[in-house]
Amino acid sequence: MIIASLLEDQKIEKRISITPEIAKKYIGLGFEVHIVENYGKHLGFENKEYLDFGVKVISDEKEIIQNADVIIQLGLPNDSKISLLKSNQTIIGVLNPYENKDKLKEISKKNVNLFSLELLPRITRAQSMDILSSQANLAGYKAVIESFAEFKKAIPMMMTAAGTVPAAKVLVVGAGVAGLQAIATAKRMGAIVYATDVRMASKEQVESLGGKFLTVDDSENLETEGGYAKEASQDFKKKQQELLSETLKKIDIIICTALIPGKKAPVIIGEEMIKNMKSGSVIYDLAAVQGGNTAFTEVDKIIDIDGVLIMGETNILNKLPSSSSNLYAKNVFNFVTNLYDKENNKININLEDEIILKTLIK
């Protein structure tokens, strides 16, 4: 079987799906691997590195698509590439079924198998395939680094003969994978860290990392069976705003990570809250692409509201493309290993397997 990958649109996505190390593993599993010429060059992976492992490097993308049995990408291929797909092929990636519903339905009519990895169930067996966790982990780290770079003061407390520099105070909104990594990174750099989340299960995790968990009084536990956040009630939102309004007056840096799968990001930091913050404060909004957690977030812009800087990017992982590609490629390899019937050399769509059932787009 041939497993292949094409370059993403470099303007929006610098990550790749098959690193040389993982290509070697696919070949060991029994696959033939095809990639487009200069596939990993922008990350320092030369064609020769792939060729030395037995990968076929091909200049014609059309040839790659038409010969492939399995195509691994990050995002959904563009329309011109989709038109070349044929029956019984398999596409694996982050296909964003909420936004690409109609397009995916059309591809399915071609009898193409579509697997979207952000739909993986949160079960122990799927942890090694969990692309959301591996990528969010890096995003949480990088959001802290980016916001600290914009902040005009030192982060840790420093005691000098000339006086004491106080430690920066950081608030992390949303204590999922990205939020927890943001807490850990900010603590390592010497900040005082607070965090809030609608899921009460997060309290123990936040405190284990040295953060102070801010709790909304009489709050319900807004967590789905899959471990994701549910949309909060109006009553909860009102209590959360009251809690945050006072807290934000003493906060220097906010890292926003709150997302609800398939929905617009909740606006948690409102206009009045931001106007009450100290001038020189920084907000990094990881939810920017889905509308943002603040009232002023704009994608790929730094907005200045009375001296408070608000930033958020289309794809923060483009600033860590090598690390994020390595993790993503490993996640996908583990997924393919579960999907591939080596004995019969075929893709085995076993709908009794929860991992396959939940990720398959019908």
**Quick one: which of 146, 187, 158 has its CA closest to 170?**
187
Classify residue 33 as exposed, middle or buried by CB count within 10 Å of its CB (0-12, 13-18, 19+).
Answer: buried
Confirm whether 130 is a catalytic residue.
Answer: yes
Q: Which of 15, 17, 130, 194 is the catalytic position?
A: 130
> Helix, strand or coil for residue 212?
strand
Confirm whether 228 is a catalytic residue.
Answer: yes
Q: d(Cα 90, Cα 29) in Å, to the nearest integer?
A: 17
Q: Is the CB of residue 35 less than 8 Å from the CB of residue 53? A: no
Q: Which of 89, 133, 147, 202 is the catalytic position?
A: 133
**Within 10 Å of residue 12's Cβ, how many Cβ atoms?**
11
Q: Which of 108, 128, 228, 245 is the catalytic position?
A: 228
Q: Is the CB of residue 70 less than 8 Å from the CB of residue 94? A: no
Angle at 357 between CA 362 and CA 326, to 5 degrees: 100
One-letter identity of residue 246: E
Query: How large is the C-alpha radius of gyration of the chain?
Result: 22
Conformational region of residue 88, where left means phi above 0, alpha means psi within -120 to 50, and beta covers everything else:
left
Contacts of 265 (CB under 8 A, 6+ apart): 258, 259, 287, 290, 291, 292, 293
> Helix, strand or coil for residue 280?
coil
DSSP 8-state symbol, 98:
T
Q: Which of 108, 122, 188, 353 is the catalytic position?
A: 122
**Quick one: which of 142, 94, 73, 75 has its CA closest to 320?**
142
Confirm whether 328 is a catalytic residue.
Answer: no
Q: Which of 80, 83, 127, 233 is the catalytic position?
A: 127
Q: d(Cα 210, Cα 219) in Å, to the nearest integer?
A: 22
Q: d(Cα 119, Cα 103) in Å, to the nearest integer?
A: 17
Confirm whether 133 is a catalytic residue.
Answer: yes
Confirm whether 39 is a catalytic residue.
Answer: no
Q: Is the CB of residue 68 less than 8 Å from the CB of residue 4? A: yes
Name the residues annotated as catalytic: 122, 127, 130, 133, 228
